[in-house]
Amino acid sequence: MNTNATHQEATGGATPGWWTEAVIYQIYPRSFADADGDGVGDLPGITARLDHLADLGVDAIWLSPFYPSPQADAGYDVADYRGVEPLFGTLSDADRLIAEAKARGLRVIVDLVPNHTSSAHVWFTEALAAAPGSAARQRYVFRDGRGPDGAEPPNDWQSVFGGPAWSRVTEPDGRPGQWYLHLFDSAQPDLNWDNPEVRAEFVDVLRFWLDRGVDGFRVDVAHGLIKQADLADWQEPQEILSGQEVDKPRPPMWDQDGVHDIYRQWRQVLDSYGSSAEDGRILVAEAWVEPAERLARYVRPDEMHQAFNFEYLLAAWTAPAQYAVITRSLEATDAVGAPTTWVLSNHDVVRHASRLGLPIGTPRPNGIGIGDPQPDAAVGLRRARAATLLMLALPGSAYLYQGEELGLPEHTTLPDEVRQDPTFRRTGGAHRGRDGCRVPIPWEADAPSYGFGPTDASWLPQPPSWAEYALDRQRGVPGSTYELYRGALRLRREHGLGRGTLRWQESPDTVLSFTNGGLTVLTNFGPDPVPLPAGAQVVQASAPLDDAGRVPTDATVWYR
Ligand code: NOJ
């Protein structure tokens, strides 16, 4: 394959800092560990399991939202940005979790949800009780409806979760009234970021958590805060991904240039708490923005530190597709002097151990359920291990999602009646939604709820096959997925791969090969086994080599 592009400086002109090469582990609090046995994970549960993460060898944890919330979108509907949802614990539990993580050398990133509040937030309650045009309404995006009696939504935007992006309110006098915008569920009204009061509030929220010692924020829907001023109609289907060519018009609700002013202001706030390589506080953009050049704008030197690389997550499992996305990603972030990031799974997508078990080229499904084409579990796990080993050898920062270190698949046969993702309901079941990647994870094969908690309770049912994935079945077992991750993380650190330099090697169309940090990395995507050079010393492999010492199909090796 044409591998002319040699990537020389993986971290470009970025000030090296802990985040430029960090491996960051995402904890989804509902599903990580349940200390009180109510079937929903909690902060004390996480604290009790921190040794697992230290032992695994990650550098930081990112906690999905644990704030007071009616849980209409599993906590991404925040009713109070300065507290802890009682389901998950108390503010003291959060303080203790932060302190215990730090004591183990783990940095802590929390989730910030600025695009919308919960409809249970006091601001929204006040907005509903107030008159059209009032200061309380101007914190959100309220508009009169179209049509003679205002009975039509103000524009044609659709919610990312399905259905219209507007809901009509009943005014305090009982009459049908204005409409409010919600790009997600109707329980998640969008804030009006043109309002200085909204901006001031979030600066204060940043300070609240920085004062409690957090090392950074993952910023939810970072590309959505500013809407095109005229709220123009958009006749295209709604997708969270802006997905446009660099010179094509962008959807009026995504990736508007005005968002960058907000992040410049936040950067100053964070830097006032520490900006050195060791004590820098970071902002991570969850911005579904393509192409990579547009995404790179979020990580210019005076804005955020990192942005999730969803183009990488979405790339097909072929050598040309992986080569193209890796090259493009490194070039785009180097151009602005930021670290590249890599991610294969999170709480919004089908776990990669299942996604990669679907036929190559299958469009990304939004959940998999009974009656849907099922992934090939063996192929999926094999490719997932190969993909992870490839990812962990790339320069930059990598994100892991809880359970992937166990090779955990998606729950692909959840009964529809237990589904909780609003996407399922709002699309009338057309999209199964994200519950399948959010099922509580297995720790002990023979314990109730596989050790998720002290009881059998689990807010989503765990499949009976999950005993074999439990941590206690894998720890200390050579070749297990857990030991593969643990070994790879140790070698990644020893060889400085995260801050290294990637150089492609010439290879056939079905193979990717590059050097970094004194190691050569080779992934075989093709049907035939690939021989290694004479004398190659394999230090890590996602699958056993064949009897002739060759790299089999869908496998990655690191060798000296
Ligand atoms: C992105 C989050 O990752 C997702 O889980 C959530 O539903 C939406 N943003 C809305 O907050």
Output the CA 536–ligand 1 centroid distance in Å. 45
Atom of ligand 1 lying closest to residue 183 CA: 10
Nearest protein Cα to ligand 1, atom 5: 348
The DSSP element (H or E) to which 558 belongs, if any, is: strand 555-559
Output the CA 458–ligand 1 centroid distance in Å. 22
Mutate to test the pocket of ligand 1, among 81, 217, 221 (most ligand atoms within 8 A of CB): 221
- Check residue 9 and give its pLDDT: 46
User: Which of 89, 82, 81 lies closest to 30, judged by CA?
Assistant: 89
- Check residue 5 and give its pLDDT: 45
**Segment among 100-104, 188-192, 293-297 with least mean pLDDT:** 293-297
Ligand 1 site: residues with CB under 6 angstroms? 73, 76, 113, 184, 220-221, 286, 347-348
- In order of 331, 504, 521, the CA distances from 324 in angstroms are 11, 12, 16
- Check residue 4 and give its pLDDT: 45
- Check residue 1 and give its pLDDT: 59
User: Which of 431, 433, 414 lies closest to 73, judged by CA?
Assistant: 433
Mutate to test the pocket of ligand 1, among 184, 217, 426 (most ligand atoms within 8 A of CB): 184
Output the CA 329–ligand 1 centroid distance in Å. 23
Q: What is the largest CA-CA distance in the chain?
A: 83
- In order of 335, 391, 453, 496, the CA distances from 514 in angstroms are 21, 12, 43, 15
* Contact of 75 with 65, CB cutoff 8 Å: yes
HSE toward the beta carbon, residue 350, CA cutoff 13 A = 27
* Contact of 537 with 558, CB cutoff 8 Å: no
CATH fold for the domain made of 19-115+196-481: TIM Barrel (3.20.20)
* Contact of 225 with 265, CB cutoff 8 Å: no
Residue 3's pLDDT band (boundaries 50, 70, 90)?
A: low
Residues classed as catalytic: 220, 286
Cα separation, 107 vs 109, whole angstroms: 7
Cα separation, 195 vs 186, whole angstroms: 21
Q: Is the pLDDT of residue 258 over 80?
A: yes
Cα separation, 434 vs 534, whole angstroms: 46
Residue 241's pLDDT band (boundaries 50, 70, 90)?
A: low
The residue whose two tokens read 């094509």 is 248
The string of DSSP codes covering 85-154 is -TTT--HHHHHHHHHHHHHTT-EEEEEE--SB--TTSHHHHHHHHSPTTSTTGGGB-EEPPBSTTS-B-S
Nearest protein Cα to ligand 1, atom 10: 76
CATH class for the domain made up of 122-181: alpha beta
Q: Is the pLDDT of residue 10 over 80?
A: no
Output the CA 76–ligand 1 centroid distance in Å. 6
Domain extents in the chain: 19-115+196-481, 122-181
Residue type, 234: W
pLDDT tens, residue by residue, 20-36 = 999 999 999 999 999 99
Cα separation, 469 vs 220, whole angstroms: 30
Cα separation, 383 vs 386, whole angstroms: 5
- Check residue 249 and give its pLDDT: 75
Output the CA 184–ligand 1 centroid distance in Å. 8
Residue 13's pLDDT band (boundaries 50, 70, 90)?
A: very low
Cα separation, 505 vs 518, whole angstroms: 13
Atom of ligand 1 lying closest to residue 422 CA: 7
What's this model's pTM, rounded to 2 decimal places? 0.97
